[in-house]
Chains A and B, each alone.
Chain A
Amino acid sequence: MGEKKDVWQGTLALMVLKTLQALGPLHGYGIARRIEQTSGDLLAVNYGTLYPALLKLEQEGYISSEWGTSDNNRKAKYYKLTRAGRKQLEKEAREWEQTTEILARFLAPGKESA
């Protein structure tokens, strides 16, 4: 149970960071919706799992939070990227690209056998 979650949490963290970089300060609901939309509804997860991930990122200092007002005048907690978070995003994105590249080579059909 732990390991799977860690993988998911890892990718989820990257998604959160990327979202905040793209859209600027955003509340939890907004982040969840954005992730869902971007993933083209391929990713059906409970929005609830987002919150512990946000807390972890905040504890690690990659994001910070403050209370603000949403578009339709509702009080919400807004998260934004910190400088450390920006660096972390670059690093993780690079690592992720590498990982996917390697996996892609493995999974690309037929090339080696030829």
Chain B
Amino acid sequence: MRRLRALLFRLGELFQKDRRERELSAEMESHLQMHIEDNLRAGMSTAEARRQALMKLGGVEQTKENYRERRGLPLLETFWQDLRYAARMLRKNPGFTAVATLTLALGIGANTAIFSIVNAVVLRPLPYKDSSRIVTFHTKTSMFPAFTLPLTWPAFQEVRAQASPLEEVSAYWQSDRTLTGRDQPEVLGVTGVSSGFFEELGARAEQGRMLSEQDHKPGQDHAVVISNTLWRTRFAKDPAAVGRHLILDKEIYTVIGVAAKGFAFPEGSEVWLPLSLTPEVQQNQKFFRFNVLGKLRKGERLETLQAELSAIGERILEANPGLGKGYKLSAEPLLQSRVEDARESYLVLLAAATFVLLIACANLTSLLLARGWGRQREIALRAALGASPGRLQRQGLVESCLLGLLGGAVGIALAAGLVQIFRAIAPGDTPRLNEISVDGTLLWFALASSLVSGVVFGLAPARRAARMDPNDALKEGTGGSVRGTSRFGNALVVLEVALAFILLIGSTLMMQTLAHLLHQNPGFRTDHLLTFDLPQPPQWNRKDSEGHAAGQIAQLKDMLAQVRRLPAVEDIVASDHGILDGMYFEHSGLQLEEALPEYSAVAESVIERYISPGYFRMLGISLVRGREFEEQDVRGAHRVIVVNEAMARRFWGTLDVVGKQVGVSNDGKETPEWNEIVGVVANVRDVGIQDEARPEYFLALFQWGVGSHHLIVRTQANPDALAGTISRQIWASYADQPLTHVMTLTKTIAESVGDQRMHTVLLGVFAGVGLALALLGVYGVVSYSVARRTQEIGVRMALGAGRTNVMRMVMRQGLTLVACGVALGVAGALATVRAIASELYGVKSGDPWTFSGGAALILLVGCLACWAPARRAMRVDPVVALRYE
């Protein structure tokens, strides 16, 4: 207690130093005066009285110093002194300070930015109640081997009833619905939810209430909850929004609540409504559409759940053998399922950013070591005047940490900028993109990394300064080199070059990938194309599906005709979904007539696309056999199908398949509808630019009528300019028809390589910075060694060494370091670059050309870095150099 009181007292003293100093002087003065007066009274002379008093006191200054030491906190005060001294040193060398600050800022900035992104996306728990215990479920089935699917309604019911490790289970189903009745029609992300959904996520309402059990009763299920965003944009934050009506797909719903700000699960959801399902869907064992969330009971393990799921899956399969052998249910944590794909690529970026920081630190260490030699005298003098080794080391660390903090401060600004850039260039489907922000985490991380790097790069130089023998240092002046430390400096440069090389290889590989992707020919004309979606109400819950489909087709035909008549429009076709946006539909269980024996019934799934007549002609996809769809291929007419080369070759082993029948079973019906092959088209990459063409077949859109429509317009001029005209034309006749995803195909392609683009940009920036820093390091070390060896070089020259010899010597020294760095880097790159192998396209991770090119580049730039110091060495005048000492 007393100790604490004394400590507080002493802390307080720090802030009233001047006053206390005056008081101390006054007290000493009064003490002396009293003593002198006593001495005078005892009969001494004035001078003697004063002398005796001073002697008895033991010296005014000594007393004051002892007193001061007791007064404040010496450790804190010397720290303060160190800090001021360090600040003074940094101010005195603005050039050094600027270079060091910038170097560190680059490293810390890159690292902090990437860390805060990784933190927001991968590490931070999802913003839901007990989110760490929430799991999501998947189905695996041999019908769709390439996908992990959600669950069917019967499977959801089984899991809800039987999985004992779960305390809550709910299901949701995302779909798009068209909002009409106000302004332009708009497509909203709508989520149908089962009971218990909001309770499980702990979602609360800002206005009104969330859905509850009563809203799920039949007849009362036209209640909706809207998102905070929708409330703000569409309802202008109207406090009376609750109770208002919302027309979705021409059905009227009542708003009963507005979700609290920030609640958006599933991502992109703007309206939540009770799931209302037809009895057919509720019993459908192949309608894999329901995402299921479960919450593990406290203490329950995922493995237990997994085991129970296997058992449940087996029971379901037993009752429904039609599901196929591979049928399997599984669960994984929600966070994992959301960020799984992103995790690895973010860790790669984090590693790259850490490399930059390491290079920056290595650079600063060698800078400080070099500067340490210049400050030898100063430090030796301080040591000679009584500074202890500990104090000198502390001084050095304070200085490097101060530098670290300076670099960190600038780094924070850089990091904030980098995070903004990331948000701008990150592909739109990046998970949790909206949760990434410049926040406190970023500041703390920057502070921590500043101090850590301050210690990391400052420790070696500070220890060396403390170890130095002042006697030697003062005697030797500028001469004398310590082999050990220069070897340490060399090792640092080698390390820097190696790290920079790894970054260079990584970014070069990504650049080549991007170039390959952007120059990949999809096999058809992608220019002057404008595409958009015409969302349609889902068909499966319509009672009169036949009549509805006919009406839809008529409407679509009319729209196509209207748009085609517009001036600048060359042609227009329709499809059921977009091209080159990575989305595709697969169909399994085809039956093929006269196919190769093993393919009479195809277990594997084949890509399926519905298209309107003229589709191949407009896109420039060549017809290899037969014809494409014509106007006569309508509902009720003879059913036709077109296949691509890959499909013909794979299943029939020949291109001559026109006239053969393909059985497609739709809508879960067991008996297939037979279609005659009328044409074979060339393979094209219509799913994604990086996806090889796979077997694919085309059905006539006008013959079937499908839920959603995708329009592709070929324009005469700039397609972007036509977007407005086309929308207005369609809305003039169909005011309630929403148009979404209006985009040129060129832009779709650019977005489809968004991930690679982002990695290329970031890795490119990191590699550039790393390379620049490493070369600065080479330059620094070589220049420094030239400066230190001036005398030696002078002697060599005096003894007859030619200028070229000297230059060669310096170059050799520098390039040896670079070469060692490259060698180490090659080994390092071979081991680490594999991490991005899955993202590469058109180039292998161990590509010899990339490696040798990178090595050549680094050696070349290494030459440049050595060039200046080598020339300086060459110009050494032996006379001046020898006189120098």
A19-70 interface (Cβ within 8 A of B): 27-30, 33, 46-49, 51-52, 55-56, 58-61, 70
Contact B30 A48 (CB under 8 A): no
Alpha-carbon distance between A29 and B26 when the two chains are bound, in angstroms: 13
Interface flags, B12-45, vs A, CB<8A=1, else 0: 0000000000010011101101110110000000
When the two chains form their complex, are residues A52 and B57 in contact, meaning their CB atoms are under 8 A apart?
Answer: no
Chain A residues contacting B35 (CB-CB under 8 Å) are 29, 47
Whether B30 contacts A76 by the Cβ 8 Å rule is yes
- Docked CA distance A75–B32 (Å): 12
A58 — which chain B residues lie within 8 A by C-beta? 9
A61 to B1, CA, bound (A): 11
B63 and A75 contact, CB distance less than 8 A? no
Contacts A51-B66, A60-B6; A75 near B26 (Cβ below 8 A): yes
Asked whether, in the complex, the Cβ of A49 is within 8 Å of the Cβ of B70, the reply is no
Q: Does A48 contact B66, Cβ atoms closer than 8 Å?
A: yes
| Closest B residue, CB atoms, query A52 | B70
Give complex CA distance A5, B572 in Å.
99
In contact, B62 and A51 (Cβ under 8 angstroms): no
For chain B, the bracket of interface size reads 20 to 34
**Which of the listed residues A28, A47, A56, A72 has the most CB atoms from chain B within 10 Å of its own CB?**
A47
> Cα distance A51–B503 when bound, in Å?
64
Cα distance, A70 to B5, chains bound together (Å): 30
Chain B nearest CB: distance from A83 CB in Å? Answer: 14
**CB of B27, distance to nearest CB on chain A (Å):** 5
Given the known A-B contacts A27-B34, A29-B34, A74-B33, are A56 and B27 also in contact in the complex, defined by CB atoms under 8 Å?
Answer: no
B30 CB contact (under 8 Å) in A52, A60, A75: A75
Query: Is there contact, CB below 8 Å, between B9 and A59?
Result: yes
Give 6 A-B contacts (CB < 8 Å), ordered by A residue. A47-B56, A48-B57, A51-B67, A52-B66, A56-B70, A70-B34
Question: Does A86 lie at the interface of the complex (its beta carbon under 8 Å from any beta carbon of B)?
Answer: no
Q: Which residues of A contact B34 (CB under 8 A)?
A: 27, 29-30, 70, 74, 76
Interface residues of B in 683-732 (CB under 8 A from A): none
Closest B residue to A28 by beta carbon equals B31
Query: Is A60 a contact of B2 with CB atoms below 8 Å?
Result: yes
Asked if B58 CB lies within 8 Å of chain A CBs, one says yes
Apart from A30-B34, A55-B67, A61-B5: 13 A-B pairs, beta carbons within 8 A: A27-B31, A29-B30, A46-B57, A46-B58, A47-B31, A48-B66, A51-B28, A52-B66, A52-B70, A56-B6, A56-B70, A70-B34, A74-B34
Please give the distance in Å from A96's CB to the nearest CB on chain B.
18
CB of B69 within 8 Å of the partner chain:
yes
Cβ A60 vs Cβ B57 within 8 A: no
A77–B22 alpha-carbon span in the complex (Å): 13
B59 at interface by CB-CB < 8 Å: yes
CA distance A37 to B67 in the complex (A): 24
Residue pair A48, B2 in contact (C-beta under 8 Å): no
The yes or no answer to B10 lying at the interface (CB within 8 A) is yes
Contacts of A47 in B (CB 8 A): 31, 35, 56-58
A58 to B5, CA, bound (A): 10
* B27: A residues at CB distance < 8 A: 28, 51, 76-77
In the complex, per-residue mask of A76-102: 1 if CB is within 8 Å of any chain B CB, else 0: 110000000000000000000000000
Contact of A52 among B5, B9, B23, B69 (CB under 8 A): B69
A27-B30 contact given A55-B71, A60-B5, CB 8 Å threshold: yes
- The answer to whether A52 and B6 touch across the interface, beta carbons within 8 angstroms, is no
- Please, which residues of chain A bring their CB within 8 A of the CB of B26? 75, 77
Q: Is the beta-carbon distance between A72 and B10 smaller than 8 angstroms? A: no
Query: B23: which A residues are within 8 A, CB to CB?
Result: 77
The interface residues of chain B lying within 8 Å CB-to-CB of A76 are 27, 30-31, 34
Question: Is B67 a contact partner of A61 (Cβ separation < 8 A)?
Answer: no
Rounded to whole angstroms, the CA-CA distance of A30 and B31 in the bound complex is 9
Q: Which residues of chain B are near A30, meaning CB under 8 Å?
A: 34
Output the least CB separation between A111 and chain B (Å).
Answer: 39
Please measure, in the bound complex, the distance between the C-alpha atom of A14 and the C-alpha atom of B30, giving whole angstroms: 24
Chain A residues whose CB sits within 8 angstroms of the CB of B59 once the complex forms: 48
Q: Which residues of A are found within 8 Å of B70, using beta-carbon distances?
A: 52, 55-56
List the 9 closest pairs (A to B, CB-CB), nearest first.
A46-B58, A48-B63, A48-B58, A52-B70, A59-B6, A59-B9, A29-B34, A76-B30, A29-B31
- Choose one: B6, B37, B66, B67; the contact of A72 (CB below 8 Å): B37
Inter-chain CA distance A47–B6, complex, in Å, is 23
Residues from chain A with Cβ under 8 Å of B66 in the complex: 48-49, 51-52
A75 to B30, CA, bound (A): 7
In the complex, what's the smallest C-beta–C-beta distance from A52 to chain B, in angstroms?
Answer: 4
Which B residues lie within 8 Å of A56 (CB)?
A: 6, 70
* Chain A: minimal CB distance from B91 (Å): 35
**A38, B66: Cα distance in complex, Å:** 25
A72 vs B30: C-alpha distance when bound (angstroms): 11
Min CB gap A80→B, angstroms = 15
Which residues 465-499 in B have Cβ within 8 Å of A in the complex? none
The smallest beta-carbon distance between B185 and chain A, in angstroms, is 78
Q: How far is the CB of B264 from chain A (nearest CB, A)?
A: 58
> Considering only CB atoms, which chain A residue lies closest to B12 in the complex?
A59
Picked from A33, A52, A61, the residue with its CB within 8 Å of the CB of B2 is A61
Known: A51-B67, A75-B26. A59 touches B31 (CB 8 A): no
Nearest-neighbor residue (CB-CB) of A45 within chain B: B58
Q: Which chain B residues border A27 with CB–CB below 8 Å? A: 30-31, 34
- Give Cα distance in the complex from A33 to B28, angstroms: 15
**A33 to B39 CA separation, bound complex (whole angstroms):** 12
Query: What's the minimum C-beta distance from A92 to chain B, rounded to whole angstroms?
Result: 13
The reply to whether B62 and A48 form a contact with Cβ atoms under 8 Å apart is: yes
A48 to B70, CA, bound (A): 13
Interface centre among B27, B62, B66 (most CB of A within 10 A): B27
B63 touches A51 (CB 8 A): yes
Contact of B56 with A46 in the complex, beta carbons under 8 Å: yes
Q: Which residues of A contact B38 (CB under 8 A)?
A: 33
In angstroms, Cα B36 to Cα A72, docked, is: 13
When C-beta atoms are compared, the residue in chain B nearest to A62 turns out to be B2
Write out the residue numbers on chain B whose beta carbons fall within 8 Å of the beta carbon of A61: 2, 5
Residues of A within 8 A of B10 (CB): 59
Q: Taking the nearest CB of chain A, how far is it from the CB of B64, in angstroms?
A: 9
| B61 and chain A: residue at smallest CB distance | A48
> Which residues in B have their C-beta under 8 angstroms from that of A77?
23, 26-27, 30
Judge whether A49 and B58 touch: CB under 8 Å: yes
Bound complex: CA A42 to CA B66 (Å)? 24
Contact B67 A59, beta carbon cutoff 8 Å: no
The CA of A48 and the CA of B64, in the complex, are separated in Å by: 8
Q: Complex: how many Å from CA A58 to CA B69?
A: 15
Report B512 CB to chain A, min CB distance, Å. 68
Residues of A within 8 A of B63 (CB): 46, 48-49, 51
